[in-house]
A and B are shown apart, each in its own frame.
Chain A
Amino acid sequence: MRHFFLISILFVHVAGLAGGLNVSGGGGISRAQGAFTEGNTAYENGDYEKAVEEYGSLAEKGFESGPLYYNLGNAYVKKGDIGKGILFYEKARQLMPRDGDLLANLRYAKSKMKRHDIPVKRPVVLRWLDMAMSYITIRQAVFAAFFLYYGMIALIIVTKVFKKTTITPTLPMLIMSFFLAIILIALPQKFRDTERGAITLSRITDVRLEPSDTAEPAFPLYEGMKVYILRQKGEWFKVKRTDGKVGWISSPNIEAI
């Protein structure tokens, strides 16, 4: 009875808090929805500049959703800004990685690139894992890893500590360990893609050996090419191309995903 009373109080408090948050955020969301619709109208009318402006204002205010980034990518590609288009498609892919429309348009935008990304030389197994992981978001991957980890610990507690069940935990533990290992092996690349990935925005730019405009050029980057940001020094980023080449590039030429 006493527990029921405590749970009831807790439930009332949480419900009240959630309701309060919802009420306080409701106005912002509805305004954002309005801006999104205006962006759609501009896009449908062929006014891609305005569409970019409307969608972009939402992104600048910190709003995010897969369709928002997808539409923004579409508007940029229609404007002829392939680099920005690919950038926002990649952002959208982090939120809705299995969306068929998005993947099709991303392929289309990449077909417009002057030079394609140089394929990463990775063992076949790791490439399979990368491909499998590309169908889920990083949040889902991390959640799955924690779910499996918690499940394994719970199984140990129930079967080994309290011995409350006659189930033999070996097979479930092996299965969970296998999937957990797969996720943990594939996660670093996923993190790299998410946390360090950047897209080249300039039509063509030289990556230099040192963070200076007068430094020797090391290799070129073309619009839409993907790089990984290793570190930042003022306005210069030390980047790594997908084939492993490293150099420095100034900030207006790339943007982080």
Chain B
Amino acid sequence: MRYKKLTIIFIFTFALICVAGELCAEEIKFKILLEKEKVTPGERVRMELIFFDRTDVPKIDIPEVEGLDIRYRGSSIKPITEDGSTEDSAVYMYSIVSRAAGSYTIGSFRIEQEGDVYVSDTAVVEVTEGEPEGGGESSEKKDILDGRIYLEVEILRDEVFENEKIPVVVKLYTDWLDLEDLAVFDEIGMTQLAGVYKTGKSEMVTMKGVNYAVMDFSKWFFIPTPGEYTFGPVKARFNIVELSGQPLNYNEDFYKKVIGRHGKHLIEIESPKKIIKVLPLPAEGRPDDFKGAMGSFTLEAVVAPKKIKEGAIVNLTTEISGYGNYKTVSAPEIREQEGLRVYEPTAEEKEGRVIFTRGIQILSADIKAIPDVKFSYFDPVEKKYFSLFKGPFPVAVSQGGGLAAVEKAKGPEEKKEPLAEEKKKTEEMIDIKTSAGDLRKASPVFYGLAGTVFLGMLPLFFLGTSVLVKKRMDRLVNDTAYAGWIQASKEAAKDLTKARSLMRKGDPERFYDHVFRMTQRYLARRFCFAPGGITEEIVSSQIRLRIENGDIADAIESIFNDCYLSNYAPLEFEQSDMENTFRKVKKVITELNGIVYI
């Protein structure tokens, strides 16, 4: 019972909270504003949903309107005036395209979203065949791509001076188009006269009730010769990306549906040309040291070190900064003075300044200061020349060391020609070499691909060979049968040669004696016996058992038999007998050489 009451209270409380939430839900009104109310089929019209005095409203999903293709394009917060008061208001922007003629009513909408209710008024767009409203009227700016994107070029002045830095700002106005791979360029390109366009700020502007995203691109250039020139057109090349996600019209063909709506379109637009008149620099008031620097500059200079010995070199660093064409800026001039040797400067250009460093050799201890430096430029805004001075720069020069001391130590004649080594140090460039060195015909490199591969493989070959040799050496030491086989084979080859020689001499006594000994020695090595222990009996009893081939054993026995008989009656043996015995010996050795282990 108690649980039943609790359940009823819980349900009632829950329902109350829901109703209260619904009752408390805020109703937010917004306006529908159309760019045009009369358009032609296919013409794009901008529609804005304006939430007056509200900046915290989320994007609402407006319902589809039959016959209209509505696409969301972005949002902004801008001041909107209503009933005499101006307040920051959220504005959501859409584009509307209708393919067919007719009258289309947009709204009124009542949209519930995230607990709030959004209520709008109504707008009507009339789509009629023929000229669109306002069509054919001359526009201040030439619109391209259905009036959605165009370029404007801003140049410093129409009249400039030769070599004057001419900044140019290109503004790309775009109305809700998504651009990719954007490149801005002009005919001057990247020559020595100009740099590349750098992307600057982006902002939203409203012109004649139309909101534009504006992108700035800037660069500068200069024209070295007076005359009248045409700048531009500046071109912008980009891809337009068709947004997807909106419902398709059924009257669009397949190509447009699949490719046209989702693809990229490469577009190139260009700005109008600009005429620039380039004036020559005035001759009046031109300083003697003027070398063409154009702009408005400041000069800083420093000398280091300030305490030196005569003959040493100090560095004079001058920095020119300011606004202008740095390509026309050269090193400030230093006033000539006895006892100083001034070297050519080196230049280093950094952002917004150029630093020149030059060495100055102090040739005399009488020098008290490095003279002042002068830099002259023409200011194209003021239209007159200016000269900047810095210095002189005090230095404390002590005697001793250096070139001057060397010169002083020598007689007056030697003073005219400083030591070659010292002269070498003081030249701008070190002198040529008197010896041609290892002058020879240029030889092909030894580290070409084939050579490198060969030289790289060679040690690996050595390594492999070494491993094989080592293995063989180890085997010869550890494997008696193998060692015996190798040694027996080598000795047998020599012994056969000698036996053939004795046979040809027709000396049966010595022939058979040699054959007997060589056979004994060979068999002893192969079967690991003492050489004297090899007899016909051993052959019959032991060696025959180890040789599977009975013919060989028979041949060995026959050889021994011949040798025994020759001991008793050597003269009985003729040349043919010796040849027969030699063949048997050769056959035995050849057969047994083919077997490693017996």
Contacts and interface: CB of A to CB of B under 8 A. Distances in A.
Contact of B432 (A40, A112, A153): A40
Interface string A27-62: 011001100100010011000000000000010001
A93 to B, nearest CB: 14
A77 B455 contact: no
Interface string B87-107: 000000000000000000000
Nearest to B458: A150
B447 A101 contact: no
A interface, over-half SS: helix
Contacts of A32: 436, 439
A62 B442 contact: yes
B460 to A, nearest CB: 7
Contacts of B587: none
Contacts of A219: 190
Interface residues of B, number: 35
A216 interface: yes
Given A156-B463, A161-B466, A65 B190 contact: no
A40 B436 CA distance: 10
Task: Give the interface size class of chain A.
Answer: 35 or more
Interface string A65-81: 11110110011011000
A162 B446 CA distance: 31
Given A157-B463, A217-B191, A219-B190, A62 B441 contact: yes
Interface in A126-173: 138-139, 142, 146, 149-150, 153-154, 156-157, 161-162
Contacts of A64: 439-442
**Residue of B192, B430, B436, B438 with most partner-chain A CB within 10 A:** B436
B440 A63 contact: yes
Interface stretch (A6-14, A103-111, A227-235): A103-111
B355 to A, nearest CB: 12
Contact of B439 (A43, A68, A157, A204): A68
A162 B189 CA distance: 71
Contacts of A19: none
Interface string A81-104: 000000000000000100001001
A153 B463 contact: yes
Contacts of A255: none
A220 interface: yes
B346 interface: yes
Contacts of B478: none
B8 interface: no
B440 A29 contact: yes
**Residue of B344, B439, B467 with most partner-chain A CB within 10 A:** B439
A67 to B, nearest CB: 4
Nearest to A101: B430
Contacts of B429: 74, 77-78, 104-105, 108
Contacts of B467: 161
Nearest to B470: A161
Contacts of B432: 40, 43-44, 67, 70-71, 74-75
A54 B230 CA distance: 49
Interface of A: 25, 28-29, 32-33, 36, 40, 43-44, 58, 62-68, 70-71, 74-75, 77-78, 96, 101, 104-105, 108, 111-112, 138-139, 142, 146, 149-150, 153-154, 156-157, 161-162, 204, 206, 216-220
24 contacts: A29-B439, A32-B439, A36-B439, A62-B441, A63-B440, A65-B436, A66-B437, A67-B432, A67-B436, A70-B432, A77-B429, A108-B428, A111-B346, A139-B446, A142-B447, A149-B456, A149-B459, A153-B462, A153-B463, A156-B463, A161-B470, A216-B189, A219-B190, A220-B191
Interface of B: 185, 189-192, 344, 346-347, 428-442, 445-447, 455-456, 459-460, 462-463, 466-467, 470
Closest 6 CB pairs of A and B: A153-B459, A67-B433, A111-B346, A67-B437, A101-B430, A36-B436
Given A32-B436, A71-B432, A101-B433, 8 more contacts: A43-B432, A65-B438, A65-B439, A67-B437, A68-B436, A108-B428, A150-B459, A219-B190
